[in-house]
Structure 1
């Protein structure tokens, strides 16, 4: 009887091992990202920017947006920005002047509505067109400067990062970002220090795609002014709806101008 029981137990264990599914290999983030590059598809995101230092911790900017993909990567973006909490902090005052603002960018051409340009638009026009425009209008100065939807940028960040479960953390200089990232260059145009260091943390979802990105860097990396000494800009970005339908179009031509009243 003991032999029968042992035999049954051994057979059952063997069957269980045979039937157990193989452990799935971790998703390759670069391959997963490139797999999203389908015409008419894209991803949505939200940004929250805070300024800390000198005893302050102020939410200065909120943004919502989307990237539209083509076979080679990002082909268009649509970003709306608004000021965060009301504050006497100079940066919050600057943001209030820059927002509310919306920027549509198709290729390298941007269309910006609102913000500091609103009062400079000719009567009847709502959008300012710039063939080599900034990626996110005025809000780009305080928005997310790291774009993990760019394969070369994501690959560089992951290569030098420390990994813990599904989160990658590391640092990168503004100078290195400028070399590899079209988004960084188009968002800022100019900055104060190539040597400024941005800290980053990227958390992936189950498909190996970025779900949450946080960055922080000294404000003096952007602005060469004593008023920014000792202050840090931090941005949290969350990505949703990877692979969803995204269709970004230029505004109606009748509402667009390439000239400002003070030109």
Structure 2
């Protein structure tokens, strides 16, 4: 009888061991991102962004884009923005490469000299988009987002961080009421740890002036695909500083969420 009971115990233990395999730890998204930093490779995005003030929609963006990588991160981007029904200082199209942004469309295509189709501006960063405040292409920022997550379930990290904490990840500082704003986020990754989707939301209460909130949802596809981005031919662009003083073209580009931290 003792032998039978011992045999049953061993059989049961073996069954439990087989029936409850150990759960594999999730792939580190930061390491997965760095592996994508290969010259000639890149990723595509599609994005929607909506800003609401006192219950009314102030702006609704739709953005698509391509990003080209180098050994240390993004080296070029080609972004298209759509803001229906509003004349915006955000360019409908922007190619950023080599420390400059070449833009066209809307106010940026008015009063240009004959033969010129683009306006060139100095640009310190390529950014992730004009609307997404969290640049997941920056390893230090992605690391901060992962570390601040309160949960990881179904391939999605959920959490929140303040603008002060985000600015610190970018290597700069903020202060005042703006720095205390909380950004809620949901970052989804695939089985390889590569980002599939990022949704961010923040809100600011102006008291009697009402409450403003913004939500941006970005989808990432085609990781590792071949991406080639080139600046427009020199014959097709003019530097903004060379335009006439009475030109209707904006003197400066509106800052993207990423550029605001780069300063």
Change (3 A) 1:239 1:62: same
In 2 relative to 1, CA 177–25 (structure 1 residues): closer, same or farther, beyond 3 Å?
closer
2:138 pairs, out of 143, 150, 161, with 150
| Number of equivalences | 235
**Alpha-carbon distance, 1:216 to partner:** 1.4
In structure 1, what is the equivalent of residue 147 of structure 2?
159
Q: CA deviation at 1:173?
A: 2.5
- Shift of the 211–192 alpha-carbon distance from structure 1 to 2, 3 Å rule, reads same
What is the Cα deviation at residue 51 of structure 1?
2.1
Aligned: 1:217 with 2:211: no
From 92, 102, 116, give the equivalent of 1:111: 102
Shift of 1:199: 1.7
Unaligned runs of 5+ in 2: 1-6, 248-263
* Deviation by residue 1:104-145 (Cα, 9 ceiling, x = unmatched): 111432111123322253332111112336747xx82xx112
Question: Cα gap change, 1:178/1:125 in structure 2, threshold over 3 Å: closer, same or farther?
Answer: farther
Match of residue 161 from structure 2:
172
Instruction: Report the equivalent of 2:252.
Output: none
Q: 1:230 to 1:23 in 2, by over 3 A?
A: closer
Runs (5+) with no aligned partner, structure 1: 1-6, 87-92, 186-190
For residue 251 of structure 2, what is the aligned residue in structure 1?
none
TM score, norm. by length of structure 2: 0.74
Q: For 2:215, which of 234, 244, 247 is the aligned residue?
A: 234
Instruction: Flag the structure with higher helix content.
Output: 1
Distance change in 2, residues 1:26/1:212 (3 Å): same
